């Protein structure tokens, strides 16, 4: 009987089925806003698959997971893990952070599913950092423990945003007048891209651009049809580079910094890779240290689902061993 997998972000909910391994099938992506609850979204998905009987499930979700109660940071869905387990009728329900799941997928990816950005090399078995702007800013990592990789459950995206240049300081000043705390996630995310555009418009004294959503801003930046959008995409690239460099220093991530999330892919050619990499390395006395660390974009389809499958397989194996 299949197992249910879910990767729940602030905007999209991705579902799949798996056997007791890493392979996934029947992937479907739903918009969270179109379903009143996670349970309703799951029921919609299972109905579309012909109501399969699932015996175990893993849910990777964009929020901290500590205890039975789960409430999303960037969406209104909330649930009890135990109640969800009983509703689904499964013996095992594993709930983990979505970027913990993404981190667990990294050892499973092939080189064709990765895109190097700039110089640097990945050292085998060295610590790995993961960061990804989507509806929020996911952060995780992997540390080698014996013959296994141990993922790090992190909410690093909510640390305070630190401006590096005058433009970023001006953006922080504008956004800081509206929010009590400007975290990195507030700017280095899809909604953050909108905030950057709005702040730059205020700074330059310009009317609001036609592009008002992350997708529209990305399209206008790629086309070069909106100067503010082009500048916002570059500013975003630099902010992400600085944040990724901070993560590399914090973890000693000589295994590489991996970039996930949907915003980078959405920006496409408007994502300024050279500026990202320059800001990644721009750490003064530790520039040479960072120059040796690889930065890699994850281009694989639905990697967090694969990480959730791996985590569920490990949980079921451990349960069998205890019996």
Whether the per-residue pLDDT at 21 is higher than 80: the answer is no
pLDDT band at 207 (very low <50, low <70, confident <90, very high): confident
pLDDT at site 323: 73
pLDDT at site 20: 66
- Coil, strand or helix at 119: coil
- Mean of pLDDT over the chain: 95
> CB-based contacts of 269: which residues, under 8 Å, 6+ apart?
222
**Which CATH number describes the domain made up of 110-299?**
3.40.367.20
For 298-310, the pLDDT digits (tens) are 999 999 999 999 9
- Distance between CA atoms of 59 and 80, rounded to whole angstroms? 12
The 10 Å CB-count burial string (b at 16+, else e) for 125-140 is ebbbbbbbbbbbbbbb
pLDDT at site 209: 78
Q: Could you tell me the fold of the domain covering 3-97+303-322?
A: Nucleotidyltransferase; domain 5 (3.30.420)
- Distance between CA atoms of 318 and 323, rounded to whole angstroms? 9
pLDDT band at 22 (very low <50, low <70, confident <90, very high): low
Judge residue 210's burial from the number of C-beta atoms within 10 Å of its C-beta, 0-12 exposed, 13-18 middle, 19 or more buried. exposed
Whether the per-residue pLDDT at 211 is higher than 80: the answer is no
How many CA atoms lie less than 13 Å away from 77 in the CB half-sphere?
Answer: 24
Domain spans in the chain, listed from the N-terminal domain onward: 3-97+303-322, 110-299
Whether the per-residue pLDDT at 240 is higher than 90: the answer is yes
| Mean pLDDT of the 282-303 span | 97
| Mean pLDDT of the 275-287 span | 98
| Mean pLDDT of the 240-268 span | 97
| Mean pLDDT of the 129-153 span | 94
pLDDT band at 1 (very low <50, low <70, confident <90, very high): confident
Chain-centroid distance of CA 54 in Å reads 27
């Amino acid at each position: 009987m299949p197992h249910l997998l879910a990767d729940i972000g602030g905007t999209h909910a991705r579902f799949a089925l798996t056997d007791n391994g890493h392979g996934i099938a029947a992937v479907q992506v739903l918009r969270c806003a179109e379903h009143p609850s996670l349970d309703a979204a799951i029921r919609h998905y299972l109905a579309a698959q012909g109501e399969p009987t699932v015996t175990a499930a893993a849910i990777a979700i964009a929020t901290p997971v500590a205890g039975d109660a789960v409430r999303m940071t960037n969406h209104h869905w909330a649930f009890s893990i135990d109640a969800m387990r009983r509703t689904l009728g499964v013996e095992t329900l594993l709930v983990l952070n979505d970027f913990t799941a993404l981190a667990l997928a990294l050892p499973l990816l092939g080189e064709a599913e990765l895109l190097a950005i700039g110089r640097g090399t990945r050292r085998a078995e060295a610590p790995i950092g993961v960061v990804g702007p989507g509806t929020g800013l996911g952060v995780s990592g992997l540390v080698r423990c014996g013959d296994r990789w141990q993922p790090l459950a992190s909410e690093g995206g909510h640390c305070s945003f630190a401006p590096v240049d005058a433009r970023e300081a001006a953006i922080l000043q504008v956004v800081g007048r509206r929010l009590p705390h400007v975290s990195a996630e507030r700017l280095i995310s899809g909604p953050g891209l909108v905030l950057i555009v709005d702040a730059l418009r205020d700074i330059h004294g310009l009317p609001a651009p036609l592009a008002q959503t992350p997708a529209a801003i990305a399209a206008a930046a790629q086309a070069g049809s909106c100067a503010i959008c082009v500048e916002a995409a570059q500013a975003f690239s630099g902010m992400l580079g600085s944040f990724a460099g901070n993560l590399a220093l914090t973890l000693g991530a000589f295994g590489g910094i991996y970039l996930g999330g949907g915003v980078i892919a959405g920006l496409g050619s408007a994502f300024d890779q050279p500026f990202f990499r320059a800001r990644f390395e721009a750490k003064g006395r530790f520039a040479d240290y960072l120059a040796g660390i690889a930065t890699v974009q994850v281009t694989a389809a639905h990697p967090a689902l694969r990480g959730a499958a791996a985590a569920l397989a490990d949980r079921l194996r451990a349960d069998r061993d205890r019996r």
